[in-house]
Amino acid sequence: MACCSYRLICLLLVLMMVMMALPNGAAAARTGSDYWDPFIRSPVDLEDDELGNGTRWALLVAGSKGYKSYRHQANVCHAYQILKRGGLKDENIVVFMYDDIATCNENPRPGTIIHHPEGGDVYAGVPKDYTGAAVTADNFFAVILGDKSSVKGGSGKVIDSKPDDRIFLYYTDHGAAGLLGMPEKPYVVANDFVEVLKKKHAMGTYKEMVIYLEACESGSIFEGLLPEDLNIYAITSTKPEEPSYIIYCPDMNPPPPPEYTTCLGDTFSVAWMEDSETHNLKKESLAQQINKVKERTSMFGTYANGSHVMEYGTKVIKPEKVYLYQGYNPETANLPANRIHFDKKMESVNQRDGDLIYLWQKYKRSSVSNRADALKQMTETLRYMAHLDSSVNMIGVLLFGPQNGSILRSSRGRGLPLVDDWDCLKSMTRLFEKHCGLLTEYGMKHMRAFANICNNLVEETEVEEAIIATCSGKNIGPYASLGAYSV
């Protein structure tokens, strides 16, 4: 027995010496190494090597306020919970949200926010980095750049990333052609946003960035603007010229709990979050997740109350695993990479109709004594929407003639930005609001009309004459601009 053991030991020693002598042997720990790594690495260990010495960062933004837009802050709170369970630290997660929903007197469950008809609270523990008046475009840009000195209000936390770090940026809000809403004006303008991303890249303070963007016409934020060499992979909920959609709304299937008068989520956002919670993100790639999200957001390829999810920027990032950006929850270890099929049909509605759904529910459920006020609020809202629509149409008639109304609604080809002169777009928007009143979240949809006026090189004086002729004396009441412009 001792002799056999001795021969076995000798054989193992010889085998080890042979393996060490191989120049490119399988025992080499890494390609080109000149030593033998005696440790056996599991697939999970190898996956962890992908992250290297880098840190995951996340920036979550809800760009609206008010109970009628409940879903945007619910989106952000749910996203935070996913990242937190995935191992991201609060010190590496920056949250923008107005924070007026959980404590709103209309909230049927005070102190909580839900994101699914049968879901629990997603509000608990969410950091209050930038709330109320601190939720601004300037602070958003400063946080991306890691510029603590330029932040006004809030916690002062910024994306203080280093060259090996990865960044996940999720933005959910009302949007329009070239525009993302903010609860405090001015809004985020596409070219300004992309210029900030270019500056961040030039600083060399991240390895790769993934952006998920939920808003109407969100494709216009990156179309023709985001270069492919910034190591930024951006996914938007819609094409440049189509609306986003919302789900879990009253009187729809599935509805929120019966006590809610507002919608709980946006289709694209719910799709990616529910996907992340039902898959092993160490196995699922970004490409696999986006394909699933496309399936659900398009209403399973029918596009009946569904939108086209779009991809921009550095698409070679797509094969990377989702966990590199959203973290990894050990409880999902035994879940599949991407095999779960969401085949349950859900009803959705144009995001721009969300306010009317809320107002109708408020009217329908109000007491007899409060019904007159609810009716007045809904009537005023509808009247102002009609004012915005008719005013823009009339301006188009005055500038281009009644036979050329389609000019204001036209879209440029793929690969071209919304407008060539962004300063012109801002000027046109301010002129309109100066004389006609605030655009509002609904009226943002007319940004394409202003862009097309600029693209047709109409003189500013001529545009202002048409605007004054259309709206003289109408910049009054609750929607008066009073010098506070959207851009």
Which residues are catalytically annotated? 174, 216
Tokens describing residue 416 = 């071209």
Q: How many CA atoms lie within 13 A of 229 on its CB side?
A: 1
Question: How far apart are the C-alpha atoms of 67 and 79, rounded to whole Å?
Answer: 19
Residue 120 to residue 123: CA distance in whole angstroms: 9
For residue 331, give every residue at least 6 positions away whose Cβ sits within 8 Å of its Cβ, in sequence order, or none: 85
The token pair that represents 452 in the structure block? 């097309």
Beta bridge partners of 212: 170, 235
- Please name the residue that has the structure tokens 């004012």: 387
Instruction: Give dist(CA 17, CA 324) in Å, integer.
Output: 38
What SS3 state is found at 487?
coil
**Residues with Cβ < 8 Å from 351, sequence gap 6 or more?**
174, 215, 216, 243, 244, 245, 246, 266
Beta strands in 183-254 (DSSP E): 188-189, 208-214, 232-236, 245-247
The C-alpha atoms of residue 435 and residue 474 are separated, in whole angstroms, by 7
Is 165 within 8 Å of 58 (Cβ atoms)?
no
Tell which residue, 4, 170, 143, has the closest CA to residue 76. 170
Amino acid at 230: L
HEC string for 390-423:
HHHHHHHHHHHCHHHHHHHHCCCCCCCCCCCCHH
Sheet strands side by side (includes 179-180): 175-176, 179-180, 188-189
